[in-house]
Amino acid sequence: MSTAVLEGHTTQAPSDGSAGSAGSAGVAPLLVSARRSLFSARERLAVDEPDGNQAIELLAAVADIVKIATSVKLSLVTTVAGSGAFRGAGHRSAASMLSAIEGIPQGAANSTVGTANRLGACPEVDDAMRRGELSEAQAKVITEAAVLDPGRQHELVEAAATSSLTELADRCRQIKASSAKSDPMAAYRRIHQARSVTSWTDEEGAFCLKGRFTPDVGATLAASLEAVTNQLFEEARQSGSKDPLAAYRADALAGLIGGERDPVHSGVDIHVIVDHQALLRGHPEGDERSEIEGVGPIPVPRVRDLMTDAGLRVIFAHGTEISKVFHFKRTINAVLATALGHRDRTCVVPGCGATRFLEIDHVHPFAEGGPTTLSNLARLCSWHHRLKSNDGWTLTHDDNGGWRFDPPPPFGEEPELVATPPPG
């Protein structure tokens, strides 16, 4: 191995006369010159002392430079990852090498490598990156959607020029949810399988939390958390206290976990917006929506489950028009619950036999007209109820009057639904 030195930064380069060394010979002087120019600009900045308006112009110029530099970085990351050269430099992956070189967290490096890899399948996005039109954050959200629906690349690149990153990310989430190449329930299941709560202690000794949940679970948590937060805020206002809202939210979470506060409005304040045709079809197409307001897209099958399993408000849409709002609320009275408990002493799934943590389920979904009657109810253990709710398994009576529990059909082979108007 020989050593290639770029203005004091040492990297290991192949010594076998490969194209990699020859190809970098013309690029290295340009990068050296660019870095020298930036150093000079930084020194001059302290001397010139620009005013506020000049600083805005200079900041815009620096942002353009960063975007172009990011395009170069992503191109080099792709080469490093594809060649496996990171192993020769003593790293287990391109991301770990990038983390060490750039001094960024491993998670951020993984994200960068993922974006670089997706750019290869998104030529229009890659071209925009080369022109310095996109930031790394914009490229990340656009490529995540564009690999599923390549025909939307031009649309998303144009949207990046006029939309905030939040608006662009929302648009990309909608495209991912409605993509013909994407199985929405598969994505939902991946999120569910990767659900997590992690904790750590920061540099000041504070206990920190981070969680990852499916959209519906997150919305339920957020609804209860915000309701308790509002209670605490009102109590504090009446007593004259004035802390940041985030502080009351922390108190609300601590109270809920510690049992000092009862969950309130769980599910009731969740607003689901779904196009009627998407609900009938089983998945959205084009600009149709199936999303939890304030959270993001959610698979249509899960919307149906939410209609069955929780009280919530469903907003039926036709394009941009709202056609109907319906508040789903199932009611299982004490007499019916007693009869069901007597009949289903164990989970009804054949071979299960669980007797603890049994949950009531509508066999024919309540949202699709299934009645809340003994014949249409069954008790399932939490595991099988989760498979039915999250993974598309179906529960039915077999020909002998017993129960069947069947896995979901492959994506695209689901049975068609009967076209009926929204409930209510």
Bridge partners (DSSP) listed for residue 5: 10
Phi-psi region of 346 (alpha: psi -120 to 50; beta: other; left: phi over 0): beta
216, 232 Cβ separation under 8 angstroms: no
**Using alpha carbons only, what angle is made at residue 174 by residues 418 and 189, rounded to the nearest 5 degrees?**
75
DSSP 351-386: T----SSEEEEESS-GGGT--SSGGGEEEEEHHHHH
**Cα 292 from Cα 303, distance rounded (Å):** 9
In terms of Cα–Cα distance, which of 187, 157, 391 is closest to 290?
Answer: 187
Look up residue 187 and give its two tokens.
């994505």
Look-up of token digits 């598969």: 186
3 phi and psi angles, rounded to 5 deg = -110, 125
**Cα 221 from Cα 365, distance rounded (Å):** 24
**pLDDT by residue for the chain (424 residues), tens digit each?**
333 444 444 444 433 334 444 455 688 899 999 999 999 999 998 888 888 889 999 999 999 999 999 999 999 999 999 888 898 888 989 999 999 999 988 888 999 999 999 998 999 999 999 999 999 999 999 999 998 888 899 999 999 999 899 889 988 988 877 665 556 677 788 788 888 998 889 889 999 998 999 888 888 888 888 888 888 888 887 888 888 888 999 999 999 888 888 776 544 467 788 887 888 777 787 778 888 877 878 888 888 777 655 556 667 666 555 545 555 555 566 667 777 877 888 899 988 888 877 888 888 876 666 787 888 888 898 888 888 877 778 898 877 778 989 888 765 555 554 444 444 4
Residue 292 CA to its chain's centroid (Å): 12
Q: Report strand pairing: 9-13 vs 196-201.
A: unpaired
321 phi and psi angles, rounded to 5 deg = -95, 140
- The domains of the chain are located at 50-182, 334-406
Bridge partners (DSSP) listed for residue 212: 196
Look-up of token digits 């960063």: 66
- Residue 218 has what DSSP assignment? H
- Residue 220 has what DSSP assignment? H
- The SS3 of residue 238 is helix
Return the CATH architecture of domain 50-182: Orthogonal Bundle (1.10)
Look up residue 198 and give its two tokens.
């992690």
Look up residue 320 and give its two tokens.
């941009």
